[in-house]
């Protein structure tokens, strides 16, 4: 186990690499969901307003 | 068709020469940038001789790019560009004419002043000649490729910076081989020829494809 | 047959289709990524000998090569959709180009970052203007250029078409750019830099690399489809089906 984490002393490089990759990919997913929520909410509001105006 | 070309070149040259400052600013930008580098990296002869080709070429790239904004802008603003899109003449030909005029005003001066600038970097005489020739073949390619970027970013806010971002990656092959030719000439003149073959090939490709791509980009931007 | 194909070119049809495909891609991505990494870390030797000896840090190769491959293929796919959009004038194709771009840019950045982290222990320096890394950097500029251009144009149609043209021009020049970086002195480059042929790599390493690449493909499908759904409802907001879709919260 300890060998896995230390990677022969190169832990910084190996985990630095994979860490950044994971961080970026997770951040992308989070950003996607946040953007979708905002846009869906905004459009929903706009459509409701339009429905009110028409009625 | 060749008459169209001549007419457009003549028109653009006349218009540009009425505002001579535009032409001169590009040239002076080039000279200033080239003069700044020795102040930044130190004036030791050997360093300058090694840096010279690259610095002059990068300055030529930047100067060429600065001038690109004005390629279509004037005609776009006063509606002449829309008229050009409507004529039966092939748009690519009109674009080629405009780019040619543009190069005569912004690229050719760089070629002519290159020897003076090369002397500042203590380049050998053969290198000065190679520098002029490489710029002579390379700067038209820069204008041609840049025209595509200028057409795509027509009328956009933040256009100049955006144009640089789009066009600089595409300039890289010209930079590599243009500066490479001059660097190679310092080592052995016999090695210079393949560089010019490549630059010449780029020029031919750009002459054929860039006007078409720029014309397509103009249609996208104006319609 | 063509009418059936054109049906899927409509954003309204594609939206729910993409919707139910995303979870499958996501699961497949997670499973293959984790599995490939396990394979790569535990089923391979700790150090490599041979002509190019590498210590434990060589395990970065899995994510570095997979990300680099993805960065290049995604750009080609973007250009493909751009071409289809320009030829057939289909909105959805342009939306797909825009949906892929950020994912491609992220993989390019990952390739650069992991390349630097691999370079530091193995060559001794974070950055070396190595032709391959430099090419990746240029590719990042191309991605950012597309996203900047697309974002700077307000009119959706002009943005789509201008971006598409830019991607295609980029694709055409990419081989020239990469070749000029790889071969800056034409006198001296008969053969390009060491061609590490895939056949020479130990099978477990190759397997993990390919597996991770497949996982990244699945991930890219999931993110691109997800992103395109958001683009679709944003662009098609005036359509009736969007109102219904948002009400049923699908």
pLDDT digits (tens, 9 = 90+) for B59-92: 999 999 999 988 998 889 888 899 889 988 899 9
Q: What is the pLDDT of residues B201-213, one digit of tens each?
A: 999 999 999 999 9
Q: How far is CA B81 from the centre of its chain?
A: 22
Q: Which long-range contacts (CB under 8 A, 24 or more apart) does C144-147 make?
A: C144/B165, C144/C105, C145/B165, C145/B166, C145/B169, C145/C170, C146/C78, C146/C101, C146/C170, C147/C101, C147/C102, C147/C105
Residues belonging to chain C: 250
Q: How far apart are CA C7 and CA B222, in angstroms?
A: 31
Q: Which chains touch A (3 or more CB pairs under 8 A)?
A: C
Asked if B149 and B212 touch (Cβ cutoff 8 Å), the reply is no
A24 vs C: CB within 8 A: yes
Across the interface, of B170, B180, B209, the residue whose CB is closest to C184 is B180
Distance CA C65, CA C226 (A): 25
Asked whether the beta carbons of residue C186 and residue B153 sit closer than 8 angstroms, the reply is: no
Tell me, what's the pLDDT at C2?
55
Residue B191: partners with Cβ closer than 8 Å, 6 or more residues away: B184, B185, C185, C187
Task: Tell me which residue of B29, B38, B25, B30 sits closest to B56, measured CA to CA.
Answer: B30
Instruction: Specify whether the backbone of C129 is left (phi greater than 0), alpha (psi in -120 to 50) or beta.
Output: left
| Chain C residues 14-43 with a CB less than 8 Å from chain A | 37, 41
- Interface pTM, i.e. ipTM: 0.90
Backbone phi and psi for residue C128, each to the nearest 5 degrees, phi listed first: -135, 10
User: Which regions of chain C are under pLDDT 70?
Assistant: 1-8, 49-53, 190-201, 249-250
Q: What is the pLDDT of residues B105-132, one digit of tens each?
A: 999 999 999 999 999 999 999 999 999 9
Q: What does each C-alpha distance from B204 to B223, C142, C225 come to in angstroms?
A: 29, 24, 41
The predicted model scores a pTM of 0.90
Contacts of C177 in chain B (CB under 8 A): 169-170, 172-173
Task: Give burial (CB, 10 Å; 0-12/13-18/19+) of C185.
Answer: middle
Structure confidence by residue, pLDDT tens digits, B84-102: 899 888 999 999 999 999 9
Which sign, positive or negative, has the C-alpha torsion C134, C136, C138, C140? negative
How many helices (H) and strands (E) chain B has is answered by 10, 0
Report the alpha-carbon distance of residue B72 to residue B94 in Å, rounded: 11
Residue C211 has what pLDDT?
93
Q: Which tokens sit at B71? A: 């390629």
CA distance C57 to chain A (A): 6
> How far is C167 from C144, CA to CA, in rounded Å?
11
Residue of C141, C159, C180 to mutate for B, most B C-beta atoms under 10 A: C180
* Assigned token pair, C39: 């394979």
Sorted by sequence, the CB contacts under 8 Å of residue C167 that are 6+ apart come out as C75, C78, C79, C82, C97, C146
Tens-place pLDDT, residues A10-50: 788 888 899 999 999 999 999 999 999 999 898 888 888 88
Mean pLDDT of chain B: 91
**Residue partners of B92: CB distance under 8 A and separation at least 6:** B211, B212, B214, B215
């Amino acid at each position: 186990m300890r060998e896995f984490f230390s990677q022969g002393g190169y832990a910084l490089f190996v985990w630095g690499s994979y860490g950044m990759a994971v961080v970026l990919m997770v951040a992308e997913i989070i950003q996607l969901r946040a953007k979708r929520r905002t846009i869906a909410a905004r459009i929903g509001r706009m459509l409701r307003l339009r429905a009110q105006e028409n009625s | 068709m060749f008459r169209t070309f001549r007419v457009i070149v003549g028109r653009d040259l006349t218009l540009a020469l009425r505002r001579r400052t535009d032409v001169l600013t590009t040239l002076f930008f080039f000279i200033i940038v080239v003069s700044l580098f020795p102040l930044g990296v130190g004036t030791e002869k050997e360093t300058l001789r090694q840096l010279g080709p690259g610095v002059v070429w990068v300055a030529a790239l930047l100067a060429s790019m600065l001038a690109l904004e004005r390629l279509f802008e004037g005609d776009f603003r006063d509606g002449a560009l829309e008229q050009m899109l409507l004529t039966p003449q092939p748009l690519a030909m009109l674009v080629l004419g405009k780019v040619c005029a543009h190069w005569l005003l912004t690229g050719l001066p760089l070629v002519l002043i290159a020897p003076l600038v090369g002397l500042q970097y203590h380049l050998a005489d053969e290198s000065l000649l190679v520098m002029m020739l490489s710029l002579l073949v390379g700067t038209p390619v820069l204008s041609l490729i840049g025209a595509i970027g200028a057409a795509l970013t027509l009328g956009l806010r933040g256009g100049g910076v955006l144009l640089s971002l789009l066009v600089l990656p595409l300039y890289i092959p010209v930079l590599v081989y243009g500066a490479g030719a001059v660097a190679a000439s310092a080592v052995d003149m016999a090695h210079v020829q393949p560089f010019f073959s490549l630059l010449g090939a780029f020029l031919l490709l750009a002459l054929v494809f860039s006007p078409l791509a720029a014309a397509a980009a103009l249609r996208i931007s104006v319609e | 047959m063509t009418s059936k194909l054109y049906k899927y070119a409509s954003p309204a049809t594609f939206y729910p289709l993409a919707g139910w495909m995303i979870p499958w891609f996501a699961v497949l991505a997670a499973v293959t990524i984790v599995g490939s990494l396990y394979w790569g870390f535990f089923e391979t030797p700790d150090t490599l000998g041979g002509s190019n000896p590498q210590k434990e840090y060589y395990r970065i190769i899995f994510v570095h090569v997979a990300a680099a491959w993805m960065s290049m293929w995604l750009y080609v796919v973007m250009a493909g959709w751009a071409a289809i959009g320009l030829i057939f004038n289909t909105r959805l194709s342009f939306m797909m180009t825009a949906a892929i771009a950020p994912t491609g840019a992220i993989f390019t950045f990952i390739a650069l970052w992991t390349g630097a982290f691999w370079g530091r222990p193995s060559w001794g320096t974070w950055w070396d203007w190595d032709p391959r890394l430099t090419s990746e950097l240029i590719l990042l500029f191309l991605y950012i250029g597309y996203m900047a251009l697309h974002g700077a144009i307000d009119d959706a149609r002009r943005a789509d078409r201008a971006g598409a043209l830019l991607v295609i021009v980029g694709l055409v020049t990419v081989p020239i750019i990469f070749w000029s970086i790889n071969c800056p002195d034409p006198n001296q480059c008969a053969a390009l830099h060491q061609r590490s042929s895939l056949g020479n790599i130990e099978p477990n390493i190759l397997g993990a690399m390919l597996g991770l690449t497949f996982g990244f493909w699945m991930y890219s499908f999931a993110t691109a489809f997800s992103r395109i759904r958001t683009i679709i409802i944003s662009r098609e907001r005036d359509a009736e089906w969007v109102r219904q879709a948002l009400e049923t919260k699908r």
